[in-house]
Each structure stands twice: as C-alpha cells, then as structure tokens.
Amino acid sequence: MKQVDLHVHSTYSDGTNTPSELIAIASSKNLSAIALTDHDTLDGIPDALKAAGNSEVELIPGVELSTNFNNTEVHIVGLFIDYTNNAINDYLKTQRESRINRNIAICERFCSIGINITYEQMLKLYPDAVITRAHFADYLVKNHYTGDRNEAFDRYLSPGKPCFVNRHKVDPSEAVSIIHQAGGVAVLAHPILYHLGKAQMNELINHVCCASIDGIEAIYSTYKPADEREIRKIAKEHNLLLSGGSDYHGANKPNIQLGTGLGHLFVPYEIKDALYERSLTFRQQPEKYRISDNRTHLLPTGSGDPAPVCGIPPGEVSCVHFLRPGRSFL
C-alpha cells in the first residue's frame, strides 16, 4: 500500500534538511509523495520540485500558515498550492515583514538581559530560512545558554517569558481564502495540539467550516488512538476531507521520522488523491468559486447561491487525472 507524508518542513523554515535531502530521505523510505509545508514561505518549493523531478517521489507544493483564533495560535496547511500565485505571495511577503520586526524585537529583549544576539548574526547563521523562535532556541543551545531547545523555550521564548514577542496573525478564515485563491486545499493542522476544551474545539471547527475549509489533519505523529478517533469523528460530522503527516523537522524534532513519525504513522496515498480531487475544483473551474468576506464558496451549477466547500460530499468532486511520480502539482 502506497504511503505519503503531507506535512514536512525544510531548512527554508525551521527544519534541518534541505528540500533535496527531504526528497532523498522520502525515496529511501519508499514514500510515494511528500508535501513541503514550510512555515509562511514557499521559497523551498523550486528546489524541492527540481529534486523530485529526478526521483520517483511526487512533490506537493504546500505551506503552513500561522493564524490566530481567540488568542490561540492555529495553523492552516495549504496543499497543491500554485507557488507562483500573486495573492499568496503578496500575503507571505506581509507575513515575512511581520516576522522580521518580531525577530528584531526578540534580539533586543535578549540583549536587555545580557544575552547578546543581533538580528544580523541570525541572518548569517540561517541565511535561507524564515527565522522562527526555534532558530533562537537553536542559537541558545549551540552557545551554551541552555542545555536543550525545551529549556530555551521554557526559560526565554514561550508566552509570558522574558524574550517572547507576539506578532500579528490573521484569522483562520483569511488563511483559507488565500489558499483557495492559490488553487490549493486548506487543512486544519494538528487540532489536538491546541489543547482546547470541547466547547472551544467546537467553536474552532465551526469557524473554519464557515470559512469553507476543506480538510482536517486526522493522522499525526503524536496523536494517540483516541485522538485520531476524535478527529475522524469531527471530519465525518462536518464532511471534511482527511489529511495526515509527520510534521517532520529533522534534528529539531529528533524523535519524529519522515513518513512514520514516532514509528507507527501511516498516511495512505488515497488521502492525497481525495485532497487533489478537491484542488481541481479551484484549479480547473475558477469560474465556480469566488472570494467574499474572506470566505471561499463554490457556486453549484445552475445556481446563483454559494455553497460552502466543506458542505460538498467528496464524491461529488470529479477527478480529471493524477500526476505521476516526478511531476509537480502546478
């Protein structure tokens, strides 16, 4: 049975493997496809596509967007993204500028407590990356300020700690809209990790469904069997497609392996197929959707009334064809 991994990070955000290394690892593990989903950047996609073109691994262009919902950071993964799309690239440019301002402020806070880190140093150390708090944690470990990354977050970088700086994040509905404009499918990433109560989880699910989200990450490295059952139940109740992935970061999450997570992860190829079918709705029939009030809607044939994408049974979206190994989803 063919296996995929739809949540993977590279050195272009906070992973430790280059895109070409990821393709090589995926090939060695006999994965049929991986999605490169770096945080708030598509910059690694060209390198990944080039490497995939010389392998049997399908490369799915993706991205993981950071959003805010009721003061909780919520991630939305976009899959089958047109990485040349102007709308999403303009959005990511704005997010990149927000990160730069946040990172400069983090450096200033470190200097104020006697740890001399400059933004110029960080750029030299991580020249191609979208610099995140994980990079600051890495710096602290390498320079012996902390023993490991967890200590770095616990002492300095988590909310409420001396060097934490918040940054502006959009509502999840805006992230869904941007992904749809770029021809992609939008997936609510690892909802169990938000540690929400039942009422809060229901509120989040209803909110993203009203924004016409397409899927939910039901298969994930750190999920317990009960967690996966819960998310699968939510997916069925709200007619959401399933997605899954390891959230591989290389050495930054050393216990998580590409494709297999903690050792038991398995995301079947058919899940990728269903998500790709949904992407064709946006990619091949652009006249049937529109963006309004940060929500994406399908216009059913013969009707002027919009219907939420997440309200359409997956079987009603026709598939034209699937790209074969070595080709990009563009």
CB 34 within 8 A of CB 265: no
Helices (H) and strands (E) in the chain, counts: 10, 11
Summarised one tens digit per residue, pLDDT across range 67-106 is 999 999 999 999 999 999 999 999 999 999 999 999 999 9
Q: Is the model's pLDDT at 46 over the cut of 60?
A: yes
> With bands split at pLDDT 50, 70 and 90, how would you rate the model's confidence at 327?
very low
Task: Give residues with Cβ within 8 angstroms of 86, minimum separation 6.
Answer: none
* Largest Cα span, the chain: 66
Question: Where residue 129 falls among pLDDT bands split at 50, 70, 90?
Answer: confident
Whole-angstrom distance, CA of residue 210 vs CA of residue 212: 5
What are the φ and ψ backbone dihedral angles of 215, each rounded to 5 degrees? Answer: -150, 180
Do 89 and 42 contact (CB within 8 A), yes or no? yes
Pairing status of strand 289-292 against strand 33-36: unpaired
Tokens standing for residue 25: 């690892």
Band the pLDDT of 284: cuts 50, 70, 90. low
Contact call for residues 324 and 55 (beta carbons, < 8 A): no
Q: Are 221 and 321 in contact (CB under 8 A)?
A: no
pLDDT in tens, 295-309: 333 333 333 333 333
Mean pLDDT of 115-130: 91
Q: Is the pLDDT of residue 28 over 90?
A: yes
CATH superfamily, region 3-82+181-316: Metal-dependent hydrolases (3.20.20.140)
Structure tokens at 268: 């079947």
* Residue 90 near residue 191, CB atoms below 8 Å: no
Mean pLDDT in residue range 210-222: 97
Specify the DSSP class assigned to residue 245: E
